[in-house]
Chains A and B, each alone.
Chain A
Amino acid sequence: MAGATTTFRTKVVAPRRATAESPWIKGTLISILLLFFGFFLILPLYVVFHEAFSKGAGVFFKTFQDRATAHAIWLTLLTAAIAVPLNTVFGVAAAWALTRFQFRGRSLLISLIDLPLWVSPVIGGLIYVLVFGRQGWFGPWLFEHDIKIIFALPGIVLATTFVTFPFVARGLIPLMQAQGHKEEEAAMTLGANGWQIFWRVTVPKIKWGLLYGIILCNARAMGEFGAVSVVSGHIRNKTNTMPLHIEILYNEYQFAAAFAVASVLCVLALVTLIIKTYAEWQAERQLRAAAESVE
């Protein structure tokens, strides 16, 4: 009430931020996080490498001399090398269209982009069998012209592309929405055409979101099992990717070898993580350098 006077009893208390949690909660949450992390991340990684070397380093390296294994690694890398750029282009185009243009059904499309994440990966493979298989829509035409899609590389690439296509788009859409397009408009008024706006203004802004999406896309592309298993045909030395090959080795009682190949996948994953972290660190460095430079 205006005008009323109040006396406050002052008690000296150690100042605590109004929004700080009690130390108990903080400790508990962190412990849970570490437990989770240790159990689901560190432990499996450790087991993979432990099992991989369980028969000694000699057997470990011999695994990779096997033709089928070497081919599986090659095929995985090749598939990722095709699927990831495809999805990058698609993801950027989709994010651009969905955040820059207003049109009917826009929200629906944004939700649909996530479709591959909702369906079981097996479905992701099955759809291509149904479309391109001998009994499928295009089957007869393809067989007449001796074009192999499923049970060959194109099918594997298609299935992999399908299951990984949301990642780039999803990384970019919220980012581009949040960033708005004022800078792009400014570029437009300065005479830049679409391409120039894209390369000079948009890409620098979305660089890190884009990189993150690509990293996720790559990781999934290399590790995909279900969808590829359906379209692969499991032909040794021809259509087995690393994940499929690991299953084969396991089924042949070659456990050390199976884990050896699995460890390669782990290493690839760790490498991608390192690249991403390095890239982020570089970005931060650049920003700081620009902020500090005085002329």
Chain B
Amino acid sequence: MSIQIRNISKNFGKFAALKDVSFDVGSGELVALLGPSGSGKTTLLRVTAGLEFAEKGKILYGIKDVTERSAYQRKAGFVFQHYALFQHLNIFENVAFGLRVRKRSERPSEPQIRARVEQLLDTVQLREFAKRVPAQLSGGQRQRIAFARALAIEPEVLLLDEPFGALDAKVRKELRHWLRNFHDTTHLTSVFVTHDQEEAFEVADRVVIIDKGVVQQIGTPNEVRENPANRFVEEFLDLGRDSVPV
């Protein structure tokens, strides 16, 4: 399932967060939205998810125009920076949530839900934590559960908002590798937002560099490094291999 973002413009009051942004995400691609704080990358992701609506432009999933649809109609899995797990539910129920809220006609039976959840927990290697609550898990574990939860609904696209931003360096690296491997196996069309260029270059097939609501450059990590499109991209990437300070 490809994603096509066409001429998206979004304002918050007088502030123009996104100005005529367009690009495509090919089916099965893993794309990073890279940029400094305030660049609009998170806003763009949320518009893509249906958590915000743009004033102008279109979003297409494949050939479906989903611009008018709200998030709960879009079937886009979303992973939040601070996990947003349901604190009052245990891990099993967190992951099962998306299945339980389906319309009666589409809802799987209890054994089916159980099977699916257990399978997902295995994928993230947290099966034994099923009865615990989020408060009892470490940051990294919570994020893996957040993944599992998003994947439970069999999404057509996966959107991740600075998924490792709240984790310490070591865990971040681990999960980065894990994400890349996961993507290589499933080929689920994914877009993730980050301000960490090392992360973007390591994980993504292609990067979209954004600043001040405008796309600066799109390309594979190599392309961008070898042929920076403008001054901003140069400076942004030339600030060493460390993360750009927010």
Contacts and interface: CB of A to CB of B under 8 A. Distances in A.
A and B touch in the complex (CB under 8 A): yes
Interface of A: 182-183, 185-193, 196, 200-201, 204-205, 290-291, 293-295
A200 B96 CA distance: 12
A182 B84 contact: yes
Contacts of B76: 189
A191 B98 contact: yes
A188 B132 contact: no
Interface string B57-92: 000000000000011101111101010111110100
B101 A187 contact: yes
A196 B72 CA distance: 11
Nearest to B133: A290
B88 A204 contact: yes
Contacts of A187: 86, 97, 101
Given A182-B80, A196-B101, A295-B130, A188 B86 contact: no
B132 A190 contact: no
A190 to B, nearest CB: 4
15 contacts: A185-B71, A186-B78, A187-B101, A188-B51, A189-B49, A189-B51, A189-B72, A189-B76, A191-B98, A200-B86, A200-B97, A200-B101, A290-B133, A291-B135, A294-B132
Interface string B194-205: 000000000000
Interface centre among B50, B76, B78 (most CB of A within 10 A): B78
Interface of B: 49-51, 70-72, 74-78, 80, 82, 84-88, 90, 97-98, 101-102, 128-133, 135-136, 149-150, 152-153
Contact of A293 (B78, B80, B131, B153): B131
Contacts of A294: 131-132
B29 to A, nearest CB: 20
A190 B149 CA distance: 8
Contacts of B150: 189-190
Nearest to B88: A204
Contact of A201 (B72, B86, B152): B86
A187 B90 CA distance: 15
B108 to A, nearest CB: 13
Nearest to B102: A191
Q: Which 7 A-B pairs have the closest CB atoms?
A: A190-B98, A189-B78, A186-B84, A182-B84, A192-B101, A204-B88, A295-B131
A89 B72 CA distance: 25
A188 B78 CA distance: 10
Nearest to A186: B84
A193 B70 CA distance: 10
